Structure 1
Amino acid sequence: MSTTPAQDGTQWFLHTWRDHILEPIETALSVLDVEHTELTAEQDGLEEFLERLRAVDPAEQPSSPVGARQQSASDPVERLRDAYADTVLAVDHYESVYDESLVENVAIEFGPDYAALFHPETNVRFSPPLKQSLVAAAEQAVDERAALDRAVRLEQEAMREHRSSLQGILDALDSTVVPEWYRETFRNDVGALLEDRQEQLHSSVHRFETHEFCAYMYEEQLWTYPVLTSLARFQESVDS
């Protein structure tokens, strides 16, 4: 027996309502998935650059006078530029996310002190101490990506857990009116979910203060806290 138009309308309304409630969490999961993919690619690129950097021998000659450089296939600067272009700048999302010149990106990634070294007409000598400090800067960049990715994966896990819990509460309702017999359980369940997320937000995510992490991760959204936004939508839309 087919459903009646009224039944179809009710089911459509409930489906749309549940989607509206869960939308911030679903959006957060999409954002986090993209961030994880990009961080993984960037970490791989930096690690490959670090490997090639370690293979570049420091220059033995002192800095040449200001003016045109004589470059060769074994020129350390040329090898560093090629290595950086082939690795860090070669990730699929580089142009869409960063779109910076090689020198600009080096300055942001490792600090402005290293930008001159990567300039095609630099007179900075790639000395052993400079190589050592650049290796350390690249290692730090790798560590920072790894730490942020760990935080992203923790947030993904939290989003999935809260989505599952909220989905379970939503599925127990067949309208926006909470039945009298279910109201105490409903309030307890929603309250427990809210308390759990607030406790998470008052903790830290690895090296990151949680508010700063959320503000950075969800900066393009109209909200900063997806779970709290979903819960606020839920509480505002039901008669409990």
Structure 2
Amino acid sequence: MSISPADVTFRVADPDPAAAECTDLTCSTAAELLDPAVVVGTVLASVLALVAFAYLRDARGRCREECRRVADEQDAFEEFAAQLRDLPAGRPTGMGPSASPRGLPAGAASAVPATGRDPTLDRVKRAYRETVMSVPHYEEEYDDDFHASVAAELGDDAAAALIASDGLTPDLREGLTTRTREAVRRRENLTDALDAERDRLDDAETRLARIDRERRALAEHLDGRVANSFDACADVWRRLDELEQRCAAVASDRQAEIRDPPLDRPETSPSFYRYLYGRDPNTDHPVLAEVAALVSRIRADRERVEKRIANAQ
């Protein structure tokens, strides 16, 4: 019977101190792994295992791609902030001195443009378009207009101020600069979270690759070096069962990470993992998918051993 990853459910067992005890098969397998031919086979198996972990490979690629995009956006906002600093700010006719607590003109959303509009504000808009809206992935990722972009990144009041104000006042420039710095900090925090996720992926792959190497070694041990006795097959079956329990531990740890993501997202936004992997048509939980795939291989091996046990009786 073939087993697909979709059929796999995880069970988490308590650590068993007796599992570390050296059985006859365990000791003989460890000794045989010192044989040069077995070492070569183990190295080849580890390479094949790394190739087999396609979900994790794709997840790391997604992290790298997102890191590049976030870095581009951070650079763009930093450049926009630099251009804001270089623009002259004055108090055009009709603009009162009051400001909101965050530095943007009070009542900007309902302000009416005054006559004699200062062209500096047009330079602000052009600077935003030439920096933030000009990152290579902008159209693919966002594809929205100027007002929607400013509202999403700097706030609705900032977007309204850029439309309704008749010039770049010191308060407006300060408010825009503050919001732009916040956008930079969000990218910095996101980069840290992506780095943490890559570390988590590497840790999961290290553990799963070790399990898969042991699985392959058991199969080779049973096929080439041990007679198909009942006891030998039963020992291999038991160790395969232990490998599945270790897979369950990896899955349990990953589920805890999913409940505690490296970055909290607003309630109105997708979760960190859905944001990062949601566009993948295969899975938005690559570690769990990889565990399921490995468990399916372990169970297929165990079924093969069960047939040998039946024949040995």
Range into which the TM-score falls when normalised by the shorter chain: 0.7 to 0.9
Match of 1:235 among 288, 295, 305: 295
> Take 1:168 and 1:26, find their aligned partners in 2: how far apart are those partners?
16
CA contact (8 A) 1:69 1:123 kept: no
Residue 105 in structure 1 maps to residue 149 in structure 2: yes
Please show how residues 58-207 of structure 1 align to structure 2 within 5 Å: 58-63=89-94, 75-119=119-163, 123-174=165-216, 179-180=236-237, 182-183=239-240, 185-207=242-264
> Take 2:196 and 2:212, find their aligned partners in 1: how far apart are those partners?
24
CA contact (8 A) 2:113 2:166 kept: no
Q: How much identity, in percent, do the aligned residues show?
A: 23
Question: What residue ranges of structure 1 are gaps of 5+ in the alignment?
Answer: 1-10
Question: Structure 2 length as normaliser, TM-score?
Answer: 0.61
Query: Which stretch shows the higher mean deviation, 34-43 or 193-202?
Result: 193-202
Question: Structure 1 length as normaliser, TM-score?
Answer: 0.77
Match of 1:55 among 80, 86, 90: 86
> Take 2:116 and 2:276, find their aligned partners in 1: how far apart are those partners?
43
Displacement after TM superposition at 1:168 (Å) = 2.2
**Partner residue of 1:3?**
none
CA contact (8 A) 1:46 1:88 kept: yes
> Take 1:67 and 1:52, find their aligned partners in 2: how far apart are those partners?
25
Query: Which stretch shows the higher mean deviation, 142-151 or 34-43?
Result: 142-151
**AA of the residue aligned to 1:201:** I
> Take 1:133 and 1:218, find their aligned partners in 2: how far apart are those partners?
34
Q: Name the CA shift for 1:19/1:68 in 2 (closer, same or farther; >3 Å).
A: farther
> Take 1:69 and 1:105, find their aligned partners in 2: how far apart are those partners?
27
Match of 2:277 among 206, 218, 228: 218
Displacement after TM superposition at 1:186 (Å) = 1.4
Higher-Rg structure is 2
Q: Name the CA shift for 1:63/1:219 in 2 (closer, same or farther; >3 Å).
A: farther
Q: CA RMSD in A?
A: 3.1
**Partner residue of 1:24?**
55
Q: What CA deviation, in whole Å up to 9, does each residue of 1:130-172 have, x standing for no partner? A: 2222112111111111111111111011112211221222223
Q: Name the CA shift for 1:151/1:208 in 2 (closer, same or farther; >3 Å).
A: farther
Question: What residue ranges of structure 2 are gaps of 5+ in the alignment?
Answer: 1-43, 96-111, 223-235, 303-313
> Take 1:154 and 1:53, find their aligned partners in 2: how far apart are those partners?
33
